[in-house]
A = this chain, B = another copy of it.
């Protein structure tokens, strides 16, 4: 029955997006366009006149930040749209929504993030100046929203997601401003500002949106063979380009170079510990795709804060190794507890991929910062810890700053998630009923097809039915 892509409730008006989605999209986009018209300007590297003047005063075109950062930007861009989008296609009949809503809320978030982040740290004479670095930061902020999307995946309408994105981007920008500019912490790869923030925000939202009867949709809340292969596309792009993610906005030169390399080794070590733990915790030694798809990425999350520091490849590998172990243990033992005891229905397990590894990354960052010395960093201290380099503070206090930043991030994420969760609970946004969560056909035209949907259980039922005829029975013996 539920085995076909029939429209389960063809006339269910509450989830009908005919007016809700267009109105939301048009209002948001028109507001964005107006604000961009009023507030946003090219920065000195994207403006024809200003860059020309810079080249006249001795700069060369290859010094334009475009050439330092655009390849990293494109890698990050792939992570946001292909990486996050396909990682979430593991659900058997939620592929259109995973990729499609990911696409929609990312396209919205990156515009809104340009404005929000610009308000807090890009204003020049009342105008927001933008270039490749602001584009990367907008993608980063979008990544945080997509992490929260992972927690509520399958249980929210696109209108809810856009509303969530609007608030979350705003709070992200506030938190980022507090962490980086007020507290003075470092977080180039966003272990705190992106991963910890996105994960705990999303976890609180999904807690507020708790559905006691979600098991009515449990048939769909699992993967099938092909959907797991599609999800591996997402996993691998996230894994491969994470070195670009962590290094995209660090200082030029050695800092970008070192961050990419640290992340590379952290991820490699994490992959081995993930495979080991996956086989070890399985009841029959078989690898679990959920672990491979997710926990193998924890090394990138955990190297987000300290990646730009002199963590060394050795240190990166230790961090990645631990992150993989923690993440698999989280999927295996903690997630069921969170769901049963704390009523946190975390569809993608973002707590295991982004939450705990993000906190681990923050702690590693604090420790690594606190032991920074001039012997190790030399004149390069200025690029990594400017306040330590100029003597304003000593390294151990930088460690304290990092710890405060983690606490601030957790506070804003939890409080923000709480408020936004209650807003999303308003019964006007077209959330799906409990019986048809994790189902594309609520919001998408889905061609009538067997694919993705014909589970063995159906076939078995079918065969059992058919095989009550004498001929079928003989066949059944062949099959089972």
**CB proximity of A90 to chain B, nearest CB, Å:** 10
Q: Which residues of B contact A313 (CB under 8 A)?
A: 36, 40, 42, 114, 130
A333 at the interface (CB under 8 A from B): no
Bound Cα distance A50, B376 (Å): 10
Task: Kindly provide the distance from the CB of A403 to the nearest chain B CB, expressed in whole angstroms.
Answer: 23
A312: chain B residues within 8 A (beta carbon): 37, 40-42
* Interface flag for A74 (CB, 8 Å): yes
Question: Chain A 39-61, CB within 8 Å of chain B: the 1/0 string?
Answer: 01110011111111101100001
Do the beta carbons of A456 and B4 come within 8 Å of each other? yes
**Chain A interface, >50% SS class:** helix
Most chain B C-beta atoms within 10 Å of own C-beta, residue among A5, A244, A288, A379 = A379
Do the beta carbons of A62 and B52 come within 8 Å of each other?
Answer: no
Residues of B near A18 (CB, < 8 A) are 279-280, 282, 284-285
Mark interface residues in A251-278 (1 if CB within 8 Å of B CB, else 0): 0111111101100110111011101110
CA–CA, A224 to B445, complex, Å? 11
Tell me which residues across on chain B come within 8 A of A55, comparing CB atoms.
253
Closest residue of chain B to A232, judged by CB?
A: B99
Question: Which B residues are CB-close (under 8 A) to A108?
Answer: 268, 271-272
A230 to B93, CA, bound (A): 14
Say yes or no: A40-B275 contact (C-beta < 8 A), given A321-B33, A457-B448: no
Cβ of A21 < 8 Å from any Cβ of B? yes
> Does A314 contact B131, Cβ atoms closer than 8 Å?
no
Q: Of the candidates B50, B111, B317, B456, which one forms a contact with A265 in the assembled complex, judged by CB atoms under 8 Å apart?
A: B111
Which residues does chain B contribute within 8 Å of A222, judged by CB atoms? 447
Cα A22 to Cα B273 with chains together (Å):
8
Closest A-B pairs by Cβ, 9 of them: A49-B378, A48-B380, A18-B285, A51-B254, A107-B271, A465-B475, A25-B276, A61-B253, A52-B379
* 30 A-B interface contacts by CB (under 8 A): A1-B478, A18-B285, A19-B280, A28-B272, A32-B317, A36-B317, A40-B312, A41-B312, A42-B261, A46-B257, A46-B258, A48-B254, A48-B258, A52-B254, A62-B252, A67-B68, A70-B256, A77-B240, A78-B240, A95-B229, A103-B239, A103-B296, A132-B261, A226-B226, A451-B452, A451-B454, A461-B475, A462-B463, A462-B475, A466-B471
